[in-house]
């Protein structure tokens, strides 16, 4: 499953086909990425990621892992946990980090460090509420 969103390049990273600090090359066709989300068949930690895929109109494979499948799959997952996001064959974990990444991919990231901070405050406050409700 592919989309036309491009993962943000690191600041100071060479532009595609160029050197660091050089103006970007002429626009070409958008890079298409494949996304696979691995999680149990529940909403919980993966639901914000699913919402971000839907918001951005990004196609992805939603792999719902059963309790019976999990013991065999666990050793193949980063840190032996889920949810896991696979982007172009590379797997990452940590649901909030993945949500921040996808938010930037779909255009919901800040445009300045101050905006990034404000977004992080909202995300972390919501997570604090979620964690306190589990106690």
Q: Which residue has the higher pLDDT, 20 or 94?
A: 94
Residue 27 has pLDDT above 70, yes or no: no
In whole numbers, what is the pLDDT of the chain averaged over residues?
84
Instruction: State residue 16's pLDDT score.
Output: 47
64-91 confidence digits (pLDDT tens): 999 999 999 999 999 999 999 999 999 9
39-52 confidence digits (pLDDT tens): 999 988 999 999 99
Give kind and range of the element (H or E) at residue 34.
none
Angle 37-55-110 from CA coordinates, rounded to 5°: 95
Domain-by-domain residue ranges, the chain? 35-130
Query: What does pTM read for this prediction?
Result: 0.73
Residue 12 has pLDDT above 50, yes or no: no
Confidence of residue 28 (pLDDT cuts 50, 70, 90): low
Interacting residues of 130 by C-beta distance below 8 A, sequence separation 6+: none
Domain 35-130 has CATH 3.40.30.10: yes
Residue 8 has pLDDT above 60, yes or no: no
Give percent of the chain with pLDDT exceeding 90.
61
Closest CA to 52 of 134, 119, 114: 119
């Amino acid at each position: 499953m592919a989309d036309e969103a491009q993962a943000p390049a690191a600041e100071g990273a060479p532009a595609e086909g160029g050197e660091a600090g050089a103006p970007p090359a002429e626009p070409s066709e958008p890079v298409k990425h494949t996304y696979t989300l691995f999680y149990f068949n529940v909403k919980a930690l993966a639901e914000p990621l699913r919402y971000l895929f839907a918001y951005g109109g990004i196609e992805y494979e939603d792999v719902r892992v059963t309790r019976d499948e999990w013991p065999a799959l666990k050793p193949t997952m980063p840190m032996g946990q889920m949810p896991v996001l696979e982007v172009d064959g590379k797997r990452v974990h940590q649901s909030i980090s993945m949500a921040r990444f996808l938010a930037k991919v779909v255009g919901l990231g800040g445009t300045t460090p101050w905006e990034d901070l404000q977004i992080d405050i909202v995300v972390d406050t919501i997570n604090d509420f979620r964690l306190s409700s589990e106690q």
